[in-house]
Amino acid sequence: MSVSQIVELLKNHGLKITPQRVEILRFLQSNRIHPTAQQIYEHVLSKVGSVSFTTVYNTLHTLEEMGQVKKIAISESMAIYDIDTSDHGHFVCTVCGSIYDINYKVKMNLPGTVQRTELIVYGVCSQCSDYLQHNV
Amino acid sequence: MSVSQIVELLKNHGLKITPQRVEILRFLQSNRIHPTAQQIYEHVLSKVGSVSFTTVYNTLHTLEEMGQVKKIAISESMAIYDIDTSDHGHFVCTVCGSIYDINYKVKMNLPGTVQRTELIVYGVCSQCSDYLQHNV
DNA sequence: ATTACTGCAAAACCTTTGCAGTGGT
DNA sequence: ACCACTGCAAAGGTTTTGCAGTAAT
């Protein structure tokens, strides 16, 4: 998504175009690392020169309400933000911290109707297990 | 699990028997509500008369290390604790907050080896949807 | 008697909120 | 010129840590 498309997106939702908002969206869209608010803050600060956590959280909340971003609790102390709002799970490497998207199919009996499903798999990614195999 | 079995469990792991520890384990085992640290604190306070968050968290960490308790992040601000450490997922009712255990089978392609899997389904439980259907 | 455990108080951490000032429209 | 947005500073909620006193062995 280009900057002009980001600008369009913001305009279409009646939002003002600010450098912080544009850079937050650009970051989420170009680096699919599933960043934390902290990582977004650091990136935008380095690019735009001025940003606050207030603005980061404000923007993320706005984007969540717009349905443009999903917030995922990978731990009880932190959320990550995913610009891919389609149905998918996450693989978290407990060695390097990388987060991979995963596709899955689940079979289950539920005591009610579903709103959303979150699957998080913790493990060691191939890169890390290769590395460990050759170096430990 | 009886109190004497709880005492055995603690002894077998070289831990001292304190009223707080016994009551935390009793609570986790008798009420399978998947409590938060806050709920455990309140319960133990009402039963034992004296407890602190320090002790609640100390005990939960010890039990986690012993593999007797699983910590689950149902939101980014809070953890719940589950004495059932077997492989299962959770259904969280977004109306009443109840947490149900669910069994599931999942098919997926993974970019590494699995350590543990966490499935959380958010939705409305039958009780709440029945209630809503008749009263709204 | 020893030392593990409890619990207070303070800190750490992430996120939210109040409010004044700035900047996009 | 308007008012949405930014950002500081302070507060909120959950969890952790330091340390002194207490209680289980």
The Å distance, CA of B29 to C1' of C16, is: 35
What's the mean per-residue pLDDT of chain B? Answer: 97
Query: What integer pLDDT is reported at residue A100 of this predicted model?
Result: 97
| C1'-nearest nucleotide to the CA of B62 | C5
**Distance separating alpha carbons of residues B70 and B72, to the nearest angstrom:** 6
pLDDT at B136: 82
Provide mean pLDDT across the span A72-88. 96
Closest residue (CA to C1') to nucleotide C8 in the complex? B52
Choose from B118, B124, B126, B130 for mutation: most chain A CBs within 10 A.
B118
Report pLDDT for A7: 98
**Percent of chain B whose predicted confidence (pLDDT) is above 70:** 100
Q: Is A119 within 8 Å of B106 when comparing Cβ atoms?
A: yes
C-alpha span between B29 and B94 (Å, rounded): 24
Nucleotides of D under 7 A from a protein CB: 4-9, 13-18, 23-25
* A136: confidence class by pLDDT, cuts 50, 70, 90: confident
Q: What is the pLDDT of residue B108?
A: 98
Q: What is the mean pLDDT of residues B59-87?
A: 97
Stretch B79-97: mean pLDDT? 97
Closest chain A residue by Cα to residue B88: A108
Per-residue pLDDT at A66: 96
Q: Is A56 exposed, middle or buried (0-12, 13-18, 19+ CB in 10 A)?
A: buried
Give me the DSSP letters along B45-85.
HHHHS---HHHHHHHHHHHHHTTS-EEEEEETTEEEEES--
pLDDT for position A96: 93
- CATH number for B3-82 (one of 1.20.120.450, 3.40.47.10, 1.10.10.10, 3.40.190.170): it is 1.10.10.10
Percent of chain B with pLDDT over 90: 99
| Percent of residues, chain A, with pLDDT higher than 70 | 100
Q: Which residues are CB-neighbours of A68 under 8 A, at least 6 positions away? A: A9, A25, A83, A85
pTM: 0.94
Determine the pLDDT at residue A99. 97
SS percent in chain B: helix, strand, coil, step 5: 40, 30, 30
Top CATH class, A89-135: alpha beta
Considering chain A, tell me which residue range(s) the CATH 3.30.1490 domain(s) occupy: 89-135
Q: Residue type at B118? A: E
pLDDT value of position B8: 98
A34 CA, C15 C1': separation in Å? 18
Residue range(s) in chain A whose domain bears CATH number 1.10.10.10: 3-82
Q: What is the pLDDT of residue B63?
A: 98
Distance B3 CA to C15 C1' (A): 40
Question: Rounded to a whole number, what is the distance in Å from the CA of B4 to chain A's nearest CA?
Answer: 33
Question: Which residues bind near strand C, taking a CB cut-off of 7 Å?
Answer: A 11, 16-19, 36-38, 53-54, 57-58, 61, 77-79; B 15-16, 18, 20-21, 50-55, 58-59, 76-77
State pLDDT tens for residues A46-71. Answer: 999 999 999 999 999 999 999 999 99
Put simply, whether A111 touches B (Cβ < 8 Å) is yes
Per-residue pLDDT tens over the stretch B42-64:
999 999 999 999 999 999 999 99
Per-residue pLDDT tens digits for A82-111: 999 999 999 999 999 999 999 999 999 999
